[in-house]
């Protein structure tokens, strides 16, 4: 058996077995903030014999007298699922990818196989700054235990909560897919029990956009499952439209309960898809014929205008009544200008009693141009990564202009793009995308699917179109698993790391002009890899050097972030206001020395210089480093005061006992230490 810390930025496949056996990385180092997460990966390989009762256990992580408990480390084995590595190519090779962060505890490993585990270490908000060291014990029945050491520095800065950070995140949900997989009726109590934890995770990672379908098949059934309308359209015998909001209301109420949306605080967005569905088809129940009719409504046509005016007026009434109007966007996805124009015109024309129209959002293929007059009419746009020109400042100029107008701008990735977030992608791709969004000055990131699963993604993620795994970032749990309703993927974990990192970078930018300049220079130096479409139709790196570039650039961004954070911590001014234990006493034998230990209040006071004085240097001396030395029998008082605030003092009464009367080494113990806080 062998085990080592592995690269968390790319998959380790069974084909890597020989390389794994040659790897002996038994130490890992990292840097985090308070209120942060540390991600790591451990890979275990079996020799000629299978491994039974294989498990990994963490120790506490220790920094002097401070600890981060072992319970903060969540250790889960990666589960393999089969993936056709092509896009719309049934002849492409099918390979097992460890893309599911599955369950923890003991497992089995076949001979000459490898298995990886994902480590998620949660760093508390009140973690004391400094360097922590702990270990992971890898055990298996009949095998020698392997110890791997993790060392990490906790910087004296608090990471923003992702849900409160400055980064806009929108991952499109497919609740009807969840209902199909778990074999529940849509929005039944059983369905909601599965949906709620997923939405709570989405809220916690910073998700803000909630996708609501307002027509059948807004994307012309591009996913494995259909996308039914959450709003039932009916045309009465008199030709009047009416609308049933039952599913829509339950979905939005669940998103509010999960914390994704908060209409009272104007938090989050309801994205209603779509006034311009792909194919321009709207399904309507026709009372006269008692059938569902598929109406082709061409944007701008008289019939389209009549139907959508009826819907928008009623939808406006309904969302106003529910208190959701101000966070509701009428949305479009990748439509041509001749489609967008009449849609925007109609949405703007319809107004509430207070003169407001619905907000508008659109994913679109913008490349360049200085005429923003039409884009300024769309409150939230997302531009495909493949249309962002790296050598041009066009996207940066657009994003800055829109920010000044109070409008949202994001970048999105999907099939046919690299870097991206497929099952076969390197995990570093998702973190790189977040850094690139910051380089381009946009507000965040959009991805077209959060949970658009195929039939059984825990077994096989292949699909007739798209690169494998393109439609989701999380996996369903087994239907008979009581304690789990979804599993994360490594690419999702590193996406969250990227979100946390750019939120930290944005926080540093806000702290001083120096950190703002340093972060800007760092992020603007980010390099972009080249891509190609491989022989199986999948978007991937052009050369292996491009693949390595992504990983190296993510590491460089993170290291640069850490260096800037350390420089800021060293330079910032935090006045000292007091000390713990201002009055102390100790006994010290002649010829012995001891270092003065002072705990300032606050603990991170900076700058801080202590000045030391002895009341009688014949008896006891103290040097400029605070080392007390006993000279001869008697008592002296050592005074230490803060140069930055001389009123903050520590007084230590030092007794040097008569050697003839001293009971030996016991006399060296500190005595009469008063446990109180002194402040001024």
* pLDDT tens column, 140-169: 999 999 999 999 999 999 999 998 888 999
Q: Which residue has the tokens 């084909």?
A: 15
Helices (H) and strands (E) in the chain, counts: 11, 39
DSSP 641: E
Let me know: does 119 contact 46? Beta carbons within 8 Å: no
Paired tokens of 405: 């107008």
Q: Give the number of other Cβ atoms within 10 Å of residue 209's Cβ.
A: 28
Report CA 484 to chain centroid distance, whole Å: 20
Report CA 250 to chain centroid distance, whole Å: 27
Residue 665 in this model has a pLDDT that exceeds 60: no
pLDDT of amino acid 237: 92
The secondary structure element, H or E, covering residue 479 is none
pLDDT of amino acid 677: 31
Paired tokens of 476: 């369903």
For 367-407, give the DSSP string.
---S--TTGGG-SEEEEEGGG--TT-SHHHHHHHHHHHTT-
Q: Specify the CATH architecture of the domain 578-679.
A: Sandwich (2.60)
The secondary structure element, H or E, covering residue 560 is helix 544-571
Angle among Cα 411, 169, 7 to the nearest 5 degrees reads: 85
pLDDT of amino acid 676: 31
Identify the band that residue 670 occupies on the pLDDT scale cut at 50, 70 and 90.
very low
CA distance 513 to 360: 35
Paired tokens of 57: 């256990």
What is the mean pLDDT of the segment spanning 493-508? 98
pLDDT of amino acid 31: 98
Q: Which residue has the tokens 């690299």?
A: 418
Secondary structure string (H, E, C) spanning 158-226? ECCCHHHCCCEEEECCCHHHHHHHHCCCCCCHHHHHHHHHHHHHHHHCCECEEEEECCCCCCCCCCCCC
Q: Give the number of other Cβ atoms within 10 Å of residue 371's Cβ.
A: 7
CA distance 329 to 314: 15
Identify the band that residue 664 occupies on the pLDDT scale cut at 50, 70 and 90.
low
Q: Considering only CA atoms, which of 71, 95, 98 is closest in space to residue 83?
A: 95
What is the mean pLDDT of the segment spanning 35-62? 98
What is the mean pLDDT of the segment spanning 307-331? 98
What is the mean pLDDT of the segment spanning 662-677? 42
Let me know: does 386 contact 417? Beta carbons within 8 Å: yes
What lies within 8 Å, CB to CB, of 417 at 6+ separation is: 384, 385, 386, 531, 539
For CATH 2.60.40.10, the residue range(s) in the chain are 2-158
DSSP 326: G
Average pLDDT taken over every residue of the chain: 94
Q: Considering only CA atoms, which of 84, 80, 79 is closest in space to residue 468?
A: 84
pTM of the model: 0.91
Residue 331 in this model has a pLDDT that exceeds 60: yes
Identify the band that residue 662 occupies on the pLDDT scale cut at 50, 70 and 90.
low
Cis peptide preceding 462, ω within 30 of 0: no
Q: pLDDT tens for residues 443-492?
A: 999 999 899 999 999 999 999 889 999 999 999 999 988 889 999 999 99
What is the mean pLDDT of the segment spanning 637-642? 96
Paired tokens of 110: 């076949």
pLDDT of amino acid 367: 65
For CATH 2.60.40.1080, the residue range(s) in the chain are 578-679
CA distance 581 to 650: 8
What is the mean pLDDT of the segment spanning 505-523? 97
Let me know: does 658 contact 632? Beta carbons within 8 Å: no
Q: Give the number of other Cβ atoms within 10 Å of residue 1's Cβ.
A: 18
Backbone angles phi, psi at 624, to 5 degrees: -70, -15
What is the mean pLDDT of the segment spanning 330-348? 94
Residue 668 in this model has a pLDDT that exceeds 60: no
Can you point out the beta strands (E) in 517-566? 531-533, 539-541
Angle among Cα 18, 24, 30 to the nearest 5 degrees reads: 125
Q: pLDDT tens for residues 216-275?
A: 999 998 999 999 999 999 999 999 999 999 999 999 999 999 999 999 999 999 999 999
DSSP 664: S
Nearest-10 Cα torsion for 95, 100, 103, 105: 50
Paired tokens of 45: 């390989």
Q: pLDDT tens for residues 287-302?
A: 999 999 999 999 999 9
Q: Which residue has the tokens 């004085």?
A: 613
Paired tokens of 630: 């006993």
The CATH T-level fold of domain 2-158 is Immunoglobulin-like (2.60.40)
Residue 353 in this model has a pLDDT that exceeds 80: yes
Let me know: does 382 contact 402? Beta carbons within 8 Å: no
For 83-114, give the DSSP string.
EE-SSS-TTS-EEEEEEEE---S-EEE-TT-E
pLDDT of amino acid 659: 86
What is the mean pLDDT of the segment spanning 386-411? 95
For 438-464, give the DSSP string.
HHTT-SEEEES-SB---S-TTTB---S
CA distance 163 to 205: 6
What three-state secondary structure class fits 645?
A: strand
For 3-57, give the DSSP string.
EEEE-TTS---GGGHHHHHT----EEEEEEEETEEEEEEEEEE--SS-EEEEEEE
Report CA 197 to chain centroid distance, whole Å: 16
CA distance 5 to 531: 29
Residue 671 in this model has a pLDDT that exceeds 70: no
CA distance 280 to 304: 9
CA distance 451 to 471: 7
pLDDT of amino acid 481: 86
């Amino acid at each position: 058996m062998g085990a080592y810390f592995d690269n968390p930025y790319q998959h380790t496949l069974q084909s890597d077995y020989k390389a794994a056996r040659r790897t002996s990385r038994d130490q890992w180092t990292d840097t985090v903030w308070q209120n942060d997460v540390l991600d790591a990966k451990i890979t275990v390989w079996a020799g000629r014999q299978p491994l039974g009762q294989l498990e990994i256990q963490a120790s506490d992580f220790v920094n002097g007298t401070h600890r981060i408990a072992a319970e903060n480390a969540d250790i889960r084995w990666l589960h393999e699922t089969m993936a056709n590595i092509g896009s719309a190519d049934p002849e492409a090779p099918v390979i097992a990818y460890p893309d599911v962060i599955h369950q923890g505890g003991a497992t089995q490993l076949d001979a000459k196989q490898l298995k990886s585990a994902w480590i998620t270490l949660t760093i508390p908000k009140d973690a004391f700054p400094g360097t922590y060291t702990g270990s992971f014990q890898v055990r298996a029945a009949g095998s020698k235990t392997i110890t791997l050491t993790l060392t990490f520095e906790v910087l004296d800065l608090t990471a923003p909560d992702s849900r409160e950070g400055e980064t806009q995140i929108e991952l499109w949900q497919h609740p009807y897919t969840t209902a199909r997989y778990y074999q529940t009726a849509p929005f039944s109590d059983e369905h909601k029990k599965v949906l709620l934890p997923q939405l709570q995770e989405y809220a916690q990672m910073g998700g803000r956009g909630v996708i609501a379908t307002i027509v059948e098949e807004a994307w012309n059934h591009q996913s494995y499952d259909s996308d039914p309308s959450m709003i039932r359209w009916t045309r009465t015998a008199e030709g009047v439209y009416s609308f049933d909001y039952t599913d829509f209301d339950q979905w939005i109420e669940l998103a509010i309960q999960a914390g994704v949306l908060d209409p009272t605080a104007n938090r989050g967005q309801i994205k209603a898809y779509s006034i311009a569905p792909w194919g321009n088809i709207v399904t309507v129940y026709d009372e006269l014929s008692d059938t569902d009719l598929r109406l082709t409504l061409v944007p701008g046509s008289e019939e389209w205008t009549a139907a959508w005016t009826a819907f928008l007026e009623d939808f406006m009434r309904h969302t106003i009544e529910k208190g959701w109007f101000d966070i509701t966007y009428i949305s479009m996805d990748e439509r041509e200008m001749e489609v967008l124009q009449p849609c925007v015109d109609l949405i703007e024309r319809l107004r509430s009693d207070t003169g407001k129209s619905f907000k508008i959002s659109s994913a679109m293929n913008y490349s360049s141009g200085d005429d923003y007059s039409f884009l300024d009419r769309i409150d939230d746009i997302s531009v495909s990564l493949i249309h962002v020109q790296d050598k041009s400042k066009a996207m940066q100029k657009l994003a800055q202009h829109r920010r000044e107008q109070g409008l949202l701008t994001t970048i999105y990735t999907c099939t046919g793009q690299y870097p991206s977030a497929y099952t076969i992608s390197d995990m570093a791709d998702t973190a790189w995308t977040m850094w690139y969004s910051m380089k381009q000055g946009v507000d965040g990131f959009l991805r077209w699917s959060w949970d658009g699963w195929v039939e059984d993604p825990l077994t096989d993620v292949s699909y007739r179109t798209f690169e494998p795994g393109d439609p989701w970032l999380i996996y369903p749990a087994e239907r008979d698993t009581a304690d789990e309703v979804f599993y994360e993927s490594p690419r999702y974990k590193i996406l969250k790391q990227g979100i946390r990192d750019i939120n930290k970078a944005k926080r540093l930018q806000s702290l001083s002009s120096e950190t703002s300049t340093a972060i800007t220079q760092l992020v603007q130096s980010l390099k972009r890899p080249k891509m190609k479409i491989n022989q199986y139709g999948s978007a991937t790196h052009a050369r292996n050097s491009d693949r390595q570039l992504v990983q190296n650039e993510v590491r460089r961004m993170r290291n640069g972030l850490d260096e800037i954070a350390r420089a800021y911590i060293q330079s910032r001014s935090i006045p000292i206001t007091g000390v713990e234990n201002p009055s102390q006493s100790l006994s010290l034998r002649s010829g012995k020395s001891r270092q003065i230990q002072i705990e300032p209040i606050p603990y991170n006071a900076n700058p801080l210089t202590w000045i030391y004085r002895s009341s009688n240097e014949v008896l006891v001396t103290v040097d400029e480093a605070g080392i007390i030395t006993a000279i001869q029998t008697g008592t002296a008082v050592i005074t230490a005061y803060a140069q930055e605030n001389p009123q903050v003092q520590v007084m230590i009464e030092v007794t040097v006992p008569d050697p003839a009367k001293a009971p030996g080494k016991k006399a060296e113990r500190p005595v009469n230490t008063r446990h109180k806080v002194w402040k001024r």
